[in-house]
A and B are shown apart, each in its own frame.
Chain A
Amino acid sequence: MTGKASGASRTVLLWSALLSPTFLLLSTLLICSLFVLRMSFGERNAEFSTWTLSSYMALADHYFIRIVANTILYAFGSAILTTILAFPVALYIVRTPSQFRRRLALVFIMLPMLLSLLVQSYGWIAVLGPDGLLNRAMQQLTGKERVFSLLFNETGVMLGLIQTSLPLAVLPQISSLRQISRQHEEAASVLGAPRWKVYTKIIVPLMWPGIAAGSLLVFGFNAGAFVVPLILGGLKVTTVALAISDQMGTLLNWPLGSALSVLLICITVTMQIVYRAWAPKSPLDTSQHGN
């Protein structure tokens, strides 16, 4: 037997070394998730020794159903709205001839990803809040106090969700749009398509994977919305994440909190499955020529 490790096992060693940090992280996550799953079937104060479906049955209560429905509605609504808003932004970033403006726009779009959600939420309060910039300006103009109550309600939450998750919708659209050659548009144009038909028949269909991916990301991100509804919801808006926080922290009902967590994961996973089954494969990433 030689002292040297053979080429194959050296490769295995190298890959193991490279992947082990990720592997550790993911397996920790997986183990903790399994704990949560186990707890959801347990009884309060005896989470790991009992088996019961009482937590899941409690979820069937009108109170929780309303929360889940609300959460899905916010996630879905924000997904659609951000996707629509992202489209002109993506178009601008990809098509503007000015390098400087493109970079500037990208920076503005990426900022929400770099700043803490907490900071951004407080930013909204500073601008749209009862004593914020807008209301103070209105006060100077009209003399009336607190004209706008845009925050601390559903509207405020939606605004916050859209603003903070916009980059998630924009970036995949940019990526998709980049792959569409200008010549496809020009060809359609010369063949008689007016500008709007170039969009509906050529650009949007070819961009579809990016559009769909973006909206899926926004949905997943906002399904677990916690900070934004907490700060901008004014106690009127409860999402699943907030309910989980209540159950796990304040009310110390871990089985119920765990059941809610499992439910949240199921919702986002289901959306993923629906998307995979339904979304078309990109017509641009398979090679153009046959044999």
Chain B
Amino acid sequence: MLKKVEQPTLQNIVPQDLPALALRSLTKKFGDRVVAVSDVNLTVAPGEILSILGPSGCGKTTLMRMIAGLEQSSSGEIKIFGRNVFGVPPHKRGIGLVFQSLAIFPHMSVRDNVSFGLKMQKIERGETKRRVDQILDLVHLPPADYASRMPRQLSGGQLQRVALARTLVTEPALVLFDEPMAALDRRLRDYMATELRAIQKKLGIAAIYVTHDQETASAMSDRIAIMQDGHIMQTGTPVEIFESPRNRFVAEFMGDVNLIRPDSLQDSDTGTVAATVSSQVIGAIDLTDGNHTGSLLLLRPEHLTVSRKRGDGAILQGRVIEEAFVSGTFRLMVDIGAEKQLIVHGLMPTKLTTGELVFISVAKGQAKLINA
């Protein structure tokens, strides 16, 4: 009599001090040339939400599929709650996966869809019904109204919830989401992001979101791992990555930035480090409090202020190009000469006119040097 191998679920994983997921030197090559994922090291703590953020083609989807068992790794290690899952097929890994396309089974009702995983685990019928009803309530799809509906009768947002319910009801050790919000409009996306995070935290299930949308990732995650060309560029909390990007790619990915190559860096006798930028420079940029390894000057648009009057802290001057209102912020574009432009963010309209001469200052300690 074969002993049935139990799937790892939250119920039967005892050592909670193990990371939900540990990746070591994970690599995936297609043929000899194409390296989709290169030497990735990553851990996810139990109950943590991590986003893998990167542009299309960076390898994040391949990485996710390897964790799920839908692709085989070329080398490296994947451990789910301490268990090495090399060679373990997807249906035995004890994880959940929500596809971008949701992949709701069109020939089954909502109840049958959500019950599918439990049926595969051979959970008894009464218990299945109870858990399905519970999860449908949790995702705000009351079973009385929705359980017997067919997928074609549901809207995009409702289908998203069904996909979520179907995955969570099996209480997996870890859930993967592939661009979960891609098909939704902005407002619904923000709403679902908050909801999703609340549900995750309530159930205490570790989750990985794979996405290219840095706004959603920042809103939903405890930590973000930025990926480019198969490599993890930087891992940290959304704020850490935003404030201290490791390189140009990360900085530009997280939103509007001003990146300028300084003409020179000088240690002055007062103990400060100063950078000078282009012929427009009118004041040295104080880098003393900030990070000064690297060759690119990072000035965050939010940390710059603009004024008609030349004040003490002014570091650059330029001519206004235009002002735009984007996503609740006023973006001012300034031409600082030598074909460089600066973006300044503000919460209030500046009412400056095109061509006007302005002076820009940076908040203390907010100028940084980063690697190219």
A246 adjacent to chain B (CB < 8 Å): no
Stretch at the interface among B42-50, B93-101, B275-283: B93-101
A191 adjacent to chain B (CB < 8 Å): yes
What's the nearest-Cβ distance from chain B to residue A122, in Å? 45
Beta-carbon contact of A289 and B159 below 8 Å: yes
Q: Once bound together, how far apart are the Cα atoms of A284 and B106, in whole Å? A: 7
B152 adjacent to chain A (CB < 8 Å): yes
Size of chain B's interface in residues, with CB distance under 8 A?
34
Q: Looking at the complex, which one of B105, B150, B170 makes contact with A192 (CB distance below 8 Å)?
A: B170
Stretch at the interface among B115-123, B185-193, B221-229, B256-264: B115-123
Beta-carbon contact of A189 and B105 below 8 Å: no
Beta-carbon contact of B170 and A191 below 8 Å: yes
Beta-carbon contact of B103 and A183 below 8 Å: yes
Beta-carbon contact of A192 and B96 below 8 Å: no
Q: Which residues 182-235 in A have Cβ within 8 Å of B in the complex? A: 183-184, 186-194, 197, 201-202, 205-206
What's the nearest-Cβ distance from chain A to residue B309, in Å? 56
- Taken residue by residue from 69 to 88, chain B's Cβ proximity to chain A (1 for < 8 Å, 0 otherwise) reads as 11000000000000000000
What's the nearest-Cβ distance from chain B to residue A197, in Å? 7
Q: Which residues 99-140 in B have Cβ within 8 Å of A in the complex? A: 99, 101, 103-107, 116-117, 120-121
What's the nearest-Cβ distance from chain A to residue B168, in Å? 11
A98 adjacent to chain B (CB < 8 Å): no
Q: Once bound together, how far apart are the Cα atoms of A287 and B90, in whole Å? A: 29
Beta-carbon contact of A290 and B103 below 8 Å: no
Beta-carbon contact of B152 and A286 below 8 Å: yes
B68 adjacent to chain A (CB < 8 Å): yes
- Taken residue by residue from 264 to 303, chain B's Cβ proximity to chain A (1 for < 8 Å, 0 otherwise) reads as 0000000000000000000000000000000000000000
Q: Which residues 152-192 in A have Cβ within 8 Å of B in the complex? A: 181, 183-184, 186-192
Beta-carbon contact of B106 and A288 below 8 Å: yes
Beta-carbon contact of B152 and A289 below 8 Å: yes
Residues of B within 8 A of A183 (CB): 99, 101, 103
Beta-carbon contact of A205 and B107 below 8 Å: yes
Size of chain A's interface in residues, with CB distance under 8 A?
25
Residues of A within 8 A of B116 (CB): 188, 191, 193, 201
Interchain pairs with CB closer than 8 A, number: 80
Beta-carbon contact of B152 and A290 below 8 Å: yes
Beta-carbon contact of B103 and A187 below 8 Å: yes
Beta-carbon contact of A191 and B166 below 8 Å: yes
Q: Once bound together, how far apart are the Cα atoms of A201 and B103, in whole Å? A: 14
Q: Looking at the complex, which one of A186, A193, A288 makes contact with B99 (CB distance below 8 Å)?
A: A186
Beta-carbon contact of B155 and A192 below 8 Å: no
- Taken residue by residue from 134 to 178, chain B's Cβ proximity to chain A (1 for < 8 Å, 0 otherwise) reads as 000000000000000011111110010000001100100000000
A123 adjacent to chain B (CB < 8 Å): no
Q: Once bound together, how far apart are the Cα atoms of A193 and B90, in whole Å? A: 9
A6 adjacent to chain B (CB < 8 Å): no
Beta-carbon contact of A193 and B152 below 8 Å: no
B24 adjacent to chain A (CB < 8 Å): no
Chain A residue, CB-CB nearest to B151:
A288
A291 adjacent to chain B (CB < 8 Å): yes
What's the nearest-Cβ distance from chain A to residue B6, in Å? 11
Beta-carbon contact of A181 and B101 below 8 Å: yes
What's the nearest-Cβ distance from chain A to residue B147, in Å? 16
Residues of B within 8 A of A197 (CB): 120
Residues of B within 8 A of A288 (CB): 104, 106, 151-152, 159
B7 adjacent to chain A (CB < 8 Å): yes
Beta-carbon contact of B155 and A189 below 8 Å: no
Residues of A within 8 A of B104 (CB): 288
Q: Looking at the complex, which one of B91, B92, B105 makes contact with A202 (CB distance below 8 Å)?
A: B105
Known: A183-B103, A205-B107. A191 touches B155 (CB 8 A): no
Q: Once bound together, how far apart are the Cα atoms of A192 and B153, in whole Å? A: 26
Q: Once bound together, how far apart are the Cα atoms of A287 and B154, in whole Å? A: 10
B255 adjacent to chain A (CB < 8 Å): no
Beta-carbon contact of B152 and A190 below 8 Å: no
Q: Looking at the complex, which one of A186, A286, A290 makes contact with B90 (CB distance below 8 Å)?
A: A186
Residues of B within 8 A of A181 (CB): 101, 103
Beta-carbon contact of A194 and B91 below 8 Å: yes
A88 adjacent to chain B (CB < 8 Å): no
Q: Once bound together, how far apart are the Cα atoms of A130 and B68, in whole Å? A: 57
Q: Which A residues are closer than 8 A to B by beta carbons?
A: 181, 183-184, 186-194, 197, 201-202, 205-206, 283-284, 286-291
Please list 12 pairs of residues, one from A and one from B, whose beta carbons are closer than 8 Å in the complex, sorted by A's number.
A186-B70, A186-B90, A187-B103, A188-B116, A189-B91, A191-B117, A193-B116, A288-B104, A288-B159, A289-B152, A290-B154, A291-B155
Task: Please name 7 further chain A to chain B contacts, defined as beta carbons within 8 Å, in addition to the given A184-B103, A194-B91, sorted by A numbering.
Answer: A183-B99, A187-B97, A193-B91, A193-B116, A286-B152, A288-B106, A290-B154
Q: Which 4 A-B pairs have the closest CB atoms?
A: A192-B120, A187-B103, A191-B117, A283-B107
